Structure 1
C-alpha cells in the first residue's frame, strides 16, 4: 500500500485521458526549463528518493543503490550538492542493508534521514557535517518499529512519521530527547502509512500517505498535528495514495499523488491526483498529465506553490513537471537524451538563495539495474 503513495493512479484519470493528444491539449508555454546535472557514483540498481536544500551550495539527497533485483535490498545511498554537481558521500558507517527514504536539513551539521533496513526496521541517521551516523531513538532496532519520512522545524525540531507499538505516530525531537506522540486515529493502524511529513507556516505538522478503506481497497490520507491529530476527509479515488502535501496555510493545502481505480486492462497505468484543501473540502484540479503519478511538490521563497514533479505514461522518455503560474498549473517537460533514457523523478525542492529548483530520481523505469541515481536542475525562468 505505501508504494502506491509513491506511484499510484486513478481510474477516472485513465478514462479522462485516453491518448497522447488529449494530454497535449493542456500543455502551455514553459516558464522554465530543466537540464540534467551530474550525479555520479551510484551502483546500478539505484535511485534518489528525496532531496532537501539549505542554500546554493548545500543540498542533500538520499536513496538506495546496488539493488540486485526486484524484491531484493541494496544499501543506503546519500549525495551532497555543492552548487555545481552531486558527490556521493560515504554511508558505510550506517552498517545496514536497505535504503534511505527521506531527508531533511536543519543546519549543515544537522541533516536527518530515515530509512528501512532489510528486516523492515526503521533507521534514523544524522549527517554531522563530516559523516553519517546512526541515531538511537525509542524502539530503534526493533522490527516492529518503522520510519517513513522526516521534516525539520523551528529551533532544529525534528518530526518523523512511522509505526511504533502497532500504531501510526509521529516521533518528535525537541532538541533534547526523542518522544513518540499520540497514535493517529485511524480504524486500521497496521494498514495505514504516512510517507511524507512537512511543517506548515503556522507550525502545524502535515503528513500524508494512504489507509485501508475496506474490502481490499485503500484511499489517500492527509492528517495535521498541532498537539492533537486532525484527519482530513479522504482524498483521491479508490486505491489511491498521497505522495506529498504543501501547506500554504491551514485552510490552503495542496496534495499530490495517484490512484489506480477499479478494473481496467492488464498493465493499466495509474492516474495522477492533484487536489486542494480549502479548510472544508477537497477540490480536484486539472493537472494536464494523463495516466501517471504526481510524486513531489515544493514551494517558492514566499511559501507559494512552485513545482510538482511527476511521471506520465504517454511520454516516458522525459520527466514531467507542473509549474504554478500564479493561477494554474502548466506542464513543463524535462530534457530528453542519453543521461536518463526513461527518467522517474521522486522529489523536487527549492534551492534557497537562488531561483533554482532541484529534482532527484532514477535514470530508468525500474529501481533495478541498470537504473542509477539521477537529478535535474532548472536552467531558466
Structure 2
C-alpha cells in the first residue's frame, strides 16, 4: 500500500505518516504553472502557513505561526497582501503562544482568524478595518473546546465551528455577540464552515454507530439541511471525514475529504476523496487522482464558481507541492513548487474574487532524528490559465 496519512481536520494538524509502496504514475499537467510568491523577510523561521482568504485581487490574508518549536509552540502570524507584496500584519499584545489555523474575510474591513495556544485553548481574532484585536471565546476558553473553522458573512456576520469533546459546536456572530446555534449533528466534530450566496455550509464528521462518517450541512435560516455520507463507500471503505465544500447550487455541491482504509496490522489510514451531491445522492466517480495526494484539504472555484482546485497533503519526502485541477470533466494532479528536504507538505487554496486566479499557502514539515519540525512556509499563486 502506498503512503497515507492519518485523518486530520485541519491542514497538517498533528499529521502522522507511515511508509508503503509507490503509487501509480502522475497524470500530465495542463495550464499555467503555480508560481511561488516571496514572503516577508521578517517572518521568523521555522514557520508555517495553514489558511488563506482573499476578498479581492488587492486584499488577502494568510495565517499560521512563526518561531515554531516542535509541533505547536510559536508566535501567531498574520500576513496581508496589498496587491503587490505580502507583509506581516501587526497583532495586539497576546498573552499566549501558539499558532493560527484558519482565516476568513468578507471585505477589506472585516476578517476573522482562529487559533490554538500551547495549553490547548482556542482563540479568536477580529480585523476591524484598522487593527486586529482578540475577541473572547464564546462560553469561555477550555481545553476541551477546539475551534476548527471560521467564515465571514455579509453585513458583519461570522460563523465558528468546532467541537467540545464529541459534541459539535456552531456559533454565529450577530449584533456584536456570539450566539450558539444548534448543531446539524448530535455527535461528532465539525471541521469547516463557508458563508456563500447559496447559504452557510458546514463540514466535518458525524459519529454514527461507532464510526465517524463525513457530513455536509446547509443552514436555511431556520435550521439545517444535512447530507450525511453514512452508507456511502469508495473502494469499499467509508467516507471518514469531509474537510471542505463548494456549493455551486443547493443540488450541485462538491466536497473533499478522506476515506478510511485499513493498513498493515489494522492501522487506520486515509486516502483522498472527492464527492458530488446532485440533490439526491453522492457520486464518487469523479475522484481526485491519488498518485501522490494523500488527503484533500480545500476545494476552490474558478471565476464562474465551478470547481477548479483542490489543495492537499502529500508525503513523505515529496518532490513538490501537489494540487488537483478540474477541467469540467476530470481531475488531474498538478505539481506546484519543487521541494527538497521536506517530509510532509500541505497546501490550502483560496479563490481570488473577480478573477480566475487562486492563492495557496503551504505548511512544510521535516523529520529530524527523533522529532518532527516545521520548515519554511510558502505562498503560491496560479493565474487560472489553461
Task: With the length of structure 1 as denominator, give the TM-score of the two structures.
Answer: 0.84
Among candidates 196, 207, 212, match of residue 212 of structure 1: 207
How has the CA–CA distance of structure 1 residues 223 and 380 changed in structure 2, closer, same or farther, with 3 Å as cutoff?
closer
The reply to whether residue 377 of structure 1 matches residue 381 of structure 2 is: yes
CA deviation after TM superposition for structure 1 residue 269, in Å: 6.4
Residues 272 and 290 in structure 1, CA contact (< 8 A), matched pair in contact too: no
Contact 1:93/1:132 (8 A) holds in 2: no
2:193 counterpart (197, 213, 230):
197
Candidates 326, 329, 332, aligned match of 1:330 = 332
Question: Conserved in 1, the CA contact under 8 Å of 2:321 and 2:347?
Answer: no
Of residues 112-121 and 317-326 in structure 1, the stretch that sits farther from structure 2 once superposed is 112-121
RMSD: 3.1
> Where does residue 93 of structure 1 map in the other structure?
93
Q: State the Cα deviation string for residues 123-171 of structure 1 (Å, max 9, x = none).
A: 1111223432101353133444432211122222211113369732321
Q: What is the 5 A alignment of 1:207-356? A: 207-215=202-210, 217-226=211-220, 227-234=222-229, 237-238=237-238, 240-264=240-264, 270-284=270-284, 285-290=286-291, 292-313=294-315, 316-336=318-338, 341=342, 344-356=345-357
Deviation for aligned residue 1:220: 1.9
Provide the rounded CA distance (Å) in 2 between the counterparts of 1:28 and 1:58. Answer: 33
The 1:232–1:370 alpha-carbon spacing in structure 2 relative to 1, beyond 3 Å, is closer
Residue 69 of structure 1 aligns with which residue? 70
- Residues 149-228 of structure 1 aligned to structure 2 (within 5 Å): 149-163=149-163, 167-186=167-186, 189=187, 192-203=188-199, 205-215=200-210, 217-226=211-220, 227-228=222-223
What's the CA shift for 1:304? 1.4
CA distance in 2, matches of 1:110, 1:271: 36
Measure, in 2, the Cα distance between the counterparts of 1:248 and 1:67.
38
For each residue in 1:265-314, what CA deviation from the matched residue of structure 2 results, as whole angstroms up to 9, or x when unmatched? 79996311111111121111221223511111111222211211123448
Match of 2:15 in 1: none
Contact conserved, 2:238 with 2:259, CA < 8 A, in 1? yes
Q: 2:259, 2:271 within 8 Å by CA — same for their partners in 1?
A: yes
Q: Deviations over 1:4-57 (max 9, x none)?
A: 23479xxxxx9xx9644x243xx2441231011112333334221111001122
* Residues 62 and 78 in structure 2, CA contact (< 8 A), matched pair in contact too: yes
Question: For structure 2, which runs of at least 5 residues remain unmatched after alignment?
Answer: 13-17
Distance 1:343 1:19, change over 3 A: closer
Please state whether the residue corresponding to 1:301 is helix, strand or coil: coil
Partner Cα separation in structure 2 for residue 142 and residue 73 of structure 1: 18
Contact 1:289 1:312 in 2 (8 A): no
The structure carrying a bigger helix percent of its residues is: 1
SS of 1:286's partner is: coil
Return 276-285 or 37-46, whichever deviates more: 37-46
Query: TM-score with structure 2 length normalisation?
Result: 0.83
Asked if structure 2 preserves the Cα contact closer than 8 Å seen for 1:61 and 1:79, the reply is: yes
User: Is the 1:200–1:249 Cα contact (8 Å) retained in structure 2?
Assistant: no
Question: Is contact 1:49–1:100 with CA below 8 Å preserved after alignment?
Answer: yes
TM superposition shift of 1:99: 1.9
Retained in 1: the 8 A contact 2:103–2:111? Answer: yes
| Distance change >3 Å, CA 154–CA 256, structure 1 → 2 | same
Structure richer in strand, relative to its length:
2
Q: Give the CA deviation at 1:333.
A: 1.2
Report the Cα offset of residue 251 of structure 1. Answer: 1.1
Within 1, Cα distance between the matches of 2:105 and 2:66? Answer: 22
Question: Is the Cα–Cα contact under 8 Å of residues 11 and 348 in structure 2 kept in the other structure?
Answer: no
Aligned residue pairs, count:
363
Q: How big is the shift at 1:371?
A: 0.8
Q: Which has the higher contact order (CA 8 A, sep 6+)?
A: 1
* DSSP 3-state at the match of 1:270: strand
